[in-house]
Structures are given as structure tokens and as C-alpha cells.
A and B are shown apart, each in its own frame.
Chain A
Amino acid sequence: MLNPRDPDQEAVGDIAPRLEQQLDAPAREWLRQALAEAEAQPQKSTWELHFASAGRQCGRAAALDARVLLLHSAGPDTVTLTRLYHQGTAAERAAVLRALPHMAVGKTPDAVPLVEDALRANDTTLIRAAVGRYAAAHLDRHGWRHAVLKCLFTGVPVRSVNDLARRARGDAELARMLRDFAHERTAAGRSVPEDLHHVLELALESAPAHPPEEF
């Protein structure tokens, strides 16, 4: 896998054991209790408090995984999820985006506005989280092409873009955009990002026999 540590790209059952190994005993205990409360009482706001405090309970490095698990356990509806995103810190927003494939809403396009919001940001941690598995499945072609371009502009490595090869392959419009971008850079006497050539190669490959579903 491109980055096996991104929690939207692994089975949700694999996250907890991996996370528990990283945590010390008090944090592990906190996580178990928080997940149990989220599952038992998803209507109560207690679990949202756990969602907010995951960083100081588990440490910043482990907080993303912990928050994804909390979202999975509580299973909030789209309205609640949207509120959590908009009222969230950057770290909480990234967790909402990463959790989407593990939630019912992840099978629908209802959370696309959240991805679009994150792609308007200039915080590369949010942009990275936005181009995960959910975006690969649900962003329309225009939005997806601009997401790839935004990664190139902001220096987010394109290996962060989930399912890049499948969606880029044979995309003539993407190839045009990349060439124009490369031309603009060259005309300004600036170097072209290495990643651009990689995506361009993919886009220039012939389209697959069974073209990807048009969203």
C-alpha cells in the first residue's frame, strides 16, 4: 500500500491493535473506555468530548487513529459528522475525512462537501487527508483533477493521492492540465515538480479496457 499508516486505507479492525501497541497503559485504558462509551451511547455528547481530547490523552501522533476509531464506534449521522468537521481543529477535521470509508456515509456522496472544504484549505495536512480513499471513490472528475493539481502546487506528495493510477490513467484532460502547468513553470524559469512527470505518465497511458465509472 502507498502509506499503510493512513487509517482510511486499512481495515478498521486492524487500527485498534496497532494503536494499542503505541499507547502506554493509561492511554490504552482511556481509549478502551472512550470507545465503549461511544458505542454504547452515541447520542450522548460525552464521546464528542473524547473526540476533542484524544490528542492530550493519546499523544498527537496517535490521536488520528484514536479519533477514527471513535467515529467508527459512534457512527454519527451526516449532520453530526458535518458539524464535527466544521467545529473541529485541523487534526479533528483530518480524522473526519480519514474515517469516512469506515462509516455508512462513506458509501454515499453526502460527505463530498467536506472534502471540497478541505481542498480549499492551504494546510497540507488537510489536503493530504482530503485525497484519501473517500475522495478516490466520490470526487467527480473535475474536482479530482483539481485536487491532484493542488497537491502538486502545495508540495503534497502525489503518493498521498489514493487510487491515483486508476483514476489518472488515460485522463486526457488531466494530461492537458499538467502540461499547461509544466509549461507555466518552465516559462517562469522554475523547475517542474518531479511528481508532475509521474502523474503525466499515468495520464498518458491508454485508457483501460473497462473505463472507470464516470461520477
Chain B
Amino acid sequence: MKILVCISNVPDTTSKITFSNDNTIFNTTGVQFIVNPYDEIALSKAIALTEGGKGSITVINVGEATTEPTIRKALATGADNAVRVNAFPRDSWFVAKQIAHFADGKDFDLILLGRESIDYNGNQVASLVGELLNIPSISIAKKIDITENTAIVEREIEGGKEIINVSLPIIVGTAEGVAEPRIPNMRGIMSARTKPLEVVEPIDVPLLVKVVQYEIPPSRGAVTLVDASSPEKLVELLHTQARVI
């Protein structure tokens, strides 16, 4: 099985998010970057599916040269080779166009990626690439089982789950539960240095959306503490003051 895993380079989950230039630019000073946690799930699933010589894994990242440590980490975890599309990942449409352009005609059986990136939370790339390549897409999968040429995918829905039967090739966004997380071992780290990492130039993509400004959510006022001996007071406040119950 030939698998493509898309990974994005995102701020570490503990990062405090700040902006500069009148809140127009995300401030990366002092921010640690990591493989998007959902993409790690995708990669872990790909490794589980190809283990024992049952296939190959290519990872693709759209990013500038600074993302190479993240790509090397994916190689150390278990991908066979990597491609970096040399461009700032401007928006989901731009990224999806690059991925689809790369994947087109390469006969990947399966394209996996995280359900969303934890920075822009677009949740778009799986469906955009699916549409561009004219293959089925499942944007949030909780379970993926593959036998031969068909996949059974469990998808989250409001108040339950849906079980889908679909023939490969497909593109799937992975959520928690899809695979046991993998971490690089010593051998992986050593071999990652010599695994192929190809750099390709981006294709032109017309601009459809742009962020004009960021905003930090307003902070709440001070907390109103209710004494532990009278919890019913809390219920009263929620009813009469906050009016939420």
C-alpha cells in the first residue's frame, strides 16, 4: 500500500498565542514548533498499516526551510521519504492545491492527515484535496480498517457515529483513537538523517481568503467564589444573575 501523509508544522500546544504589528502577524518569537498532534495520529496509522514491508509512506509538508526539523521527526517516527513544498502555507486552499498537485498521478492508495491543524483549525484540507483529486474524503475519522481495496471508516457525527464503506483511493482526516501514538526510537532518529527529503517549488494559486487581523478573546472578569458549604447559592446565581439555567 502506498500512503501519503500530510503534516503541518504548528506551535507547541503550551504556546501562549500573541500577535504583533497591530495584531496582523502571529508572533513566532520563542514559540516551539511541533508536528501537528492530529497529523501524528495519521502518521502512526500509516506506520501500523505498512509495518512488515506492506507498503511505503511519503510525508508531505508545505512549508519554508524552517519546518525541516518537523519533517525529520516524521521520518524518524517511520515515514520512508519526504517532500517539502517550498512555500509559506498561506491558507488551506493554497496547501490543498500543492498537495493535490503533488499527489496527482502518483497512485497513492491512501492519503492521511490530521482532522485539523491546531493553529488555523481549518478542517478543510482533506475535503479540498479529495475534491481536487476527485476521490472520496472523510474529514473526521475515529477508526479506519483496511482490507485489500476497501476501507471501513468510522466517522463522528452529532450524537453518535457513522460507519462507512468505501473503495480506495481515499483521503481521510484522523482524530484520536485511530492509532496508538508512535514515537521515534534511536534507530529511527539515526536513519532519518539519510532518508530522502525532496524540495519542490509551489504552483501558483489565486488568493481567495486572507486574514486581516487577529484578536485575542477578551478576558473574563474576576471569578465569583461561592462557599463550599452552600452550593445551592451557585445554582441561584446561575439562575438569577448569569441566567443560564
Q: Do A and B bind each other?
A: no
